[in-house]
Amino acid sequence: MARLTVIRGGRLIDPDQGLDLIADLWLEGSRVVGLEPPPGAVPDKIIDATGLLVTPGLIDIHVHLREPGNEEDETIATGADAALAGGWTTIVSMPNTRPPIDTPAAVEFVILQAKRAGKAQVLPSACVSKNRAGEELAELGKLYEAGAVAFTDDGAPVSHAGLMRRALEYSKMFDVPIYQHCQVMELTVGGLMNEGDVSLRLGLPGMPPVAEEIMVARDIMLAELTGGHVHIQHLSTARSVELVREGKKRGIRVTAEACPHHISLTDENLATFDSNFKMNPPLRTARDVEAVIQGLIDGTIDLIATDHAPHAPEKKNRELDQAPFGILGLETMMPIVRSSLIEPGLLTWPEVIAKLTIEPAKLIRRQQYKGHLRPGADADVTLIDPDRAWTIDTAGFRSKSINTPYQGWNVKGRAVGTIVSGELRYMLDPHRETVMV
């Protein structure tokens, strides 16, 4: 008989099943048994979850792992390890590596490296276009069969409307979403931050919100034309939220994600000229932050993803134009989401957990076994101490990089246990800053 684990006495939250109760959760091997033990069972392992939230394993559908090609920033192993510390059991890697993930061999490389690491599970996404060049469709069928769960040229948009149309059309037969990084490049030449009052004041070249919105609008219309599924990545402006809302109302297959930084920071932070506030899409205005949060509240925005984008300090701690776009996200999501959404009473824990579990599972079509704790589901579980106070400190990060804008923040809420395939792969001491597993 496979190894039996019981997670005792936690607040079990499974939005997919509508569960929110104090209960035990039984796992057997790599599967969920349920709230009751198998008849006559004696647990091999008991995890005390008193005072903790017990949720389906968190799924981040937007993570940059940088391997192959930029192992100085992150590797599949270090990124998947950072994921564990953030409470994520499954992450979707982005294909903008060197070389890009545009061949079945490259997809398999990511899967094998992740297996070898034995941390969080990594599901690869693959390129929409060959060599991410935005010209010819990549071999989506072969990539799908190799294990790609989504297609994207993330880091750059699919600019060519004709190619985007073909991608949405062709991918329908695999029922796989096309993730789009929405940015009209002609409108953002040289841009380093949001274009607005703040960029005007700081003399920094701006990226106007319409550069995002025009492509959001275009791709929603292309999804309508083709019946394909477009997923809008890191949606950041008020008008983008309206466009997605309208698209959904029309029944178009459009989904969207929001990143923790786009609901917790604004372009005013750039007044420090700190490159840890430089990401793409850029931090927008307080009005946009409010609209994105409203989108999360009313369901226009389906889920939360981090866009974890590690960059080694020698690259990131530079002049603002030289520093690359992007910040870390995996290890800081929980407290940021807590302070932006839960603390002000905008969303409840079960509502937030849905956007971190079942919603992302559905997006990548893994909802049969992931994103919930029904009997037979993958035994991926996250334990969260909802009120644990801590100070964000890069010294303790498992990521290879330290490019976070939240350094030194005193926060509350933290993932304290991460179970992947029935194995407890991360456990934080309840009282100390010490990792027990």
321: helix, coil or strand? coil
Interface with another protein (CB under 8 A), residue from 54, 204, 244, 358:
204
**Min dist. Cβ of residue 277 to another protein (A):** 11
Instruction: Please identify, among the stretches 123-131, 169-177, 310-318, 404-412, the one whose residues bind another protein according to the rule CB under 8 A.
Output: 310-318
Interface with another protein (CB under 8 A), residue from 205, 208, 350, 386:
205
Interface with another protein (CB under 8 A), residue from 57, 196, 295, 310:
196
Give the integer Cα–Cα distance in Å for 153 and 101: 10
394 touches another protein by CB under 8 A: no
Give the integer Cα–Cα distance in Å for 239 and 256: 13
Of 184, 164, 180, nearest to 244 by C-alpha is 180
CB-nearer residue toward another protein: 45 or 318: 318
| Residue of 102, 307, 380, 385 with catalytic role | 307
Instruction: Please identify, among the stretches 85-93, 111-119, 166-174, 313-321, the one whose residues bind another protein according to the rule CB under 8 A.
Output: 313-321
Give the integer Cα–Cα distance in Å for 55 and 336: 18
Torsion angle of the four alpha carbons 225, 226, 232, 238, in this order, in degrees rounded to the nearest 10: 10
**Min dist. Cβ of residue 98 to another protein (A):** 20
β-sheet bridge partners, residue 410: 391
β-sheet bridge partners, residue 124: 93
286 touches another protein by CB under 8 A: no
**Min dist. Cβ of residue 252 to another protein (A):** 34
Instruction: Please identify, among the stretches 114-122, 260-268, 311-319, 331-339, the one whose residues bind another protein according to the rule CB under 8 A.
Output: 311-319
Residue with tokens 């409203």: 294
Of 361, 419, 310, nearest to 77 by C-alpha is 310
Interface with another protein (CB under 8 A), residue from 1, 42, 189, 395:
189
Question: Is 307 among the residues known to form the active site?
Answer: yes
Please give the C-alpha separations between residue 146 and each of 95, 112, 124, 150, 151, in angstroms, as whole numbers.
Answer: 14, 12, 10, 12, 13
Instruction: Please identify, among the stretches 3-11, 98-106, 200-208, 284-292, the one whose residues bind another protein according to the rule CB under 8 A.
Output: 200-208
Instruction: Please identify, among the stretches 12-20, 194-202, 365-373, 380-388, the one whose residues bind another protein according to the rule CB under 8 A.
Output: 194-202
β 410-420/88-93 pair status = unpaired
Torsion angle of the four alpha carbons 87, 89, 95, 101, in this order, in degrees rounded to the nearest 10: 150
Residue with tokens 């349920």: 34
287 touches another protein by CB under 8 A: no
| Binding residues with another protein: total (CB under 8 A) | 19
Please give the C-alpha separations between residue 236 and each of 141, 150, 192, 406, in angstroms, as whole numbers.
Answer: 31, 21, 15, 19
Give the integer Cα–Cα distance in Å for 412 and 336: 8
184 touches another protein by CB under 8 A: no
The pattern of x and - marking residues 244 through 283 that bind another protein according to CB under 8 A reads ----------------------------xx----------
Phi (first) and psi of residue 282, to 5 degrees: -75, 165
CB-nearer residue toward another protein: 150 or 323: 323
For another protein, the binding residues in 314-343 under the rule CB under 8 A are: 314, 317-322
User: Which residues form the interface with another protein (CB under 8 A)?
Assistant: 189-190, 196-197, 200-205, 272-273, 314, 317-322
Catalytic site positions: 307
